[in-house]
Chains A and B, each alone.
Chain A
Amino acid sequence: MTQAQATRHPRGASEPLLSVRDLRVTFQRQGDAAFKAVDGVSFDVRPGQTVGLVGESGCGKSVTSLAIMGLLPERGNTVEGKAVFDGEDLLTLSPSAMRDRRGAEIAMIFQDPLSSLNPVITIGRQVTEVMERHQGLSRKQATPKARDLLERVGIPDPKARLVNYPHQLSGGMRQRALIAMALACNPRLLIADEPTTALDVTIQAQILALLKELVVDTGTALVMITHDLGVVAGLCDEVNVLYGGKVVERGGRHGLFKRPRHPYTVGLLNSIPRLDAPLGEKLDPVPGSVADNLPWASACAFAPRCSQVVDACTSHTPEWEGDHVVGHRCFNPMGGTP
């Protein structure tokens, strides 16, 4: 790890709320070599900030978030590194201490709202359950609060919805209900793992707008996980681009979009459909697939798909150039080495 851990960044007015350092998750697969799903990821989230984790399917976004939440399967994997939240390393907390934090201090929303709700319990019961668990309320005390919450996340006729089962709600309403559950105890950090991928395009925009509104109103910090840089553009203050389990580029939203350095980021940016593009123009996604990856240990994993590849790329690991605010991991970045 060459990340300059000591450097304080210039805008560092507030201490990070969550500070992930050199996180590594290795899955042991029977009869197979161990698989590094997350390979030394570091990033910071400051109070009230929205940080994006972006990358293709399989790059380790979900595993990163599950590791921070302590929700990876008990067996078959090892987690190394640190995830310091409010001065405590979450990765070393006892399971019961971690349970007390989850839902109260840190909450998470998932990709598929339908399968993430319990089909046999009413929406109201699922929302009150969280408040009963963490705030010591009775169900009776929690019910009016649950109603208010559903109203706050934009569910029409919340009182009637309390007694509905998940299948009686539309996809967008279900995701709103999940957001209500996650925000029920005013957590300080919310991790959203592709919260809009399973939804219709029009609903996607509504849910993103809602998330933005809620994090602004409540001051909740948000980690936004997505494979879609378009989502990031409207929402995130800072973006981390992941490739093959490593952060390959980081930057503020404006900087990253205006002057991307890493060839993979450029590929991702080119694959965003543009409203002003001529009709029928072909998108330019990154060629090849993650299956072509080289091992990070002795190369740049992205080399087989990279347009900028140079000799060093296949024989050495590119090191992190930069700090906790901006940086990249590339031998031959776009725009040349400064």
Chain B
Amino acid sequence: MSEDRDGRTPTPPDGGRARRPSYGQVRRDRIDALATAGTVDDEPGVSLIRSAWKRLRRNPIFLLGAAITLAFIVLAIISPWIAPWDVTARPLLDQVRPQTNPVPGPEPGHLLGGDDRGRDLFSRLLVGSRQTLIVGVFATLFGLAGGITLGTVAGAIGGWVDSLVMRIVDVMLSVPSLLLAFTIASLARSPSQWTLIVAIAVIQVPIFARLLRGSMLAQRGSDHVLAARSLGVRPRAIVFRHMLPNSLGPVIVQATLSLAVAIIDAAALSFLGLGNPDQRQPEWGQMLGLAQKYISEAPHLAFYPAGCIIVVALGFTLMGESLREALDPKTRR
């Protein structure tokens, strides 16, 4: 749209600063770029997701990411039924020799061997995908819920409410996110998978809040919102029917990216002992933590869960980044 929009388009965040931007500044700019991407559309009137999909269908990077993600989700769901051994069973117990051979190696029926308690490593890895997915998905969902609420409140009400919410959000964004998650998780009296979910959800909230508020503001100045206002549509309907549904595109993209971050952060926290200590529910970060003790004798114990985390996070990131690129007018061409 080359037509002058009567100065109603929001001014973009001022680029070209002389000093190196701070951590918080970099994160804010990244979020804002995605938020405004939602309105700068070369096919106005076509929903953002639909026009992005056209570009994505042929993008091999997106397809690879999507394939990994899909495989991971399917595995996570069906793993308890396809895992060859129960995760609590200890079929290799009689081979564990604490002094000479603490970790049994591979043998027929046990593709990757066992762990230090004689449990089948392959089965635990498979089933571990489930906890990883649960933590990632719930953390992102809660983060989304919190962020959408705050962002809607800020973007719809505006004024001092907006300023207050955005101040808090910006402070949260300027603290390194893993540090913040670590702090929150260590407040819990007894760590569990819910500790992880809450801690990681909290660090997602400001991201979604700022993002949604940004795209709501862009929507507020859009032609179709002006047209709806010109017909006397009530403010509540303007927000929930005209602004919010059109602001969700960037949020969905961010959610894909956030899943990757949530999975990595969850693994990191649970590696540090802030996750679910219950070994009957294996989780990759937890397995990684347990593998530390044997890192010189049996590095594969750490290698497999770490590899799984990397591949899955890569899948979500490839998918999310190509979505992001498909939406961002600066990188589109």
A residues touching B (Cβ–Cβ < 8 Å)?
27, 57-58, 62-63, 66, 69, 71, 73, 99-104, 107-108, 110-112, 114-121, 129-130, 133-134, 165-167, 174, 178, 181-182, 184
Contact = CB atoms under 8 A, between A and B. Distances in A.
B232 A104 contact: yes
Nearest to B226: A71
11 contacts: A27-B7, A71-B226, A103-B230, A110-B226, A110-B230, A120-B47, A120-B246, A129-B228, A134-B232, A167-B47, A181-B231
Interface SS majority for chain B: loop
A113 B173 CA distance: 39
Contact of A120 (B226, B232, B245): B245
A133 B44 CA distance: 26
Given A110-B223, A115-B223, A121-B241, A167 B228 contact: no
B198 to A, nearest CB: 32
B37 to A, nearest CB: 15
A104 B234 CA distance: 13
What interface size band does chain B fall in?
20 to 34
Contacts of B44: 112, 114-115, 119
B224 A167 contact: no
Nearest to B50: A167
Interface string B225-267: 0111111111001000110011000000000000000000000
A112 B232 contact: no
Nearest to B46: A167
B45 interface: yes
B224 A116 contact: yes
Nearest to A126: B228
A62 B233 contact: no
Interface in B99-136: none
Interface of B: 1, 3-4, 6-8, 43-47, 50, 222-224, 226-234, 237, 241-242, 245-246
A167 B47 CA distance: 9
B234 A99 contact: yes
B223 A116 contact: yes
Contacts of B233: 99, 103, 129-130, 133
B252 to A, nearest CB: 13
Considering the complex of A and B, which 6 residue pairs feature the smallest CB-CB distances, nearest first? A103-B231, A103-B232, A102-B232, A114-B45, A115-B223, A116-B227
B14 to A, nearest CB: 13
A69 B6 contact: no
A57 B4 CA distance: 10
A117 B227 contact: yes
Contacts of B224: 115-119
A71 B45 contact: no
A117 B225 CA distance: 8
A108 B224 CA distance: 12
B231 A166 contact: no
Contact of A112 (B8, B223, B231, B234): B223
Contact of B230 (A107, A114, A119, A167): A107
B234 A115 contact: no
B6 to A, nearest CB: 6
B46 A119 contact: yes
B231 A133 contact: yes
Contacts of B246: 118-120
A73 B225 CA distance: 12
Contacts of A66: 6
B227 A166 contact: no
Nearest to B228: A118
Contacts of A63: 6
Given A120-B246, A133-B234, 8 more contacts: A62-B6, A69-B230, A102-B231, A103-B232, A107-B231, A118-B224, A119-B45, A121-B241
Given A115-B1, A118-B224, A118-B242, A133 B232 contact: yes
A166 B43 CA distance: 12
Contact of B231 (A58, A73, A182): A182
Q: Which of B4, B43, B229, B230 has the most CB of A within 10 A?
A: B230
Contacts of B46: 119, 167
A121 B8 CA distance: 23
Given A62-B6, A121-B241, A115 B45 contact: yes
Contact of B45 (A111, A117, A129, A182): A117
Contacts of B245: 120-121
Nearest to A167: B46
B231 A167 contact: no
Contact of B229 (A71, A120, A165): A71
Contacts of A121: 241-242, 245
Contacts of B3: 111-112
A115 B230 CA distance: 14
Nearest to A112: B223
Contacts of B227: 108, 110, 116-117, 178, 181
Q: Which of A103, A116, A117, A166 has the most CB of B within 10 A?
A: A116
Contacts of B229: 71, 102
Contacts of B47: 119-120, 165, 167
Nearest to B6: A62
B243 to A, nearest CB: 10
B6 A112 contact: no
Contacts of B226: 71, 110, 116
B244 to A, nearest CB: 10
A62 B4 CA distance: 11
B43 A167 contact: yes
A222 B44 CA distance: 28
Contact of A99 (B222, B223, B232): B232
A289 to B, nearest CB: 14
A108 to B, nearest CB: 4
Nearest to B44: A115
A98 to B, nearest CB: 8
B237 A129 contact: yes
A65 to B, nearest CB: 9
Contacts of B237: 129, 133
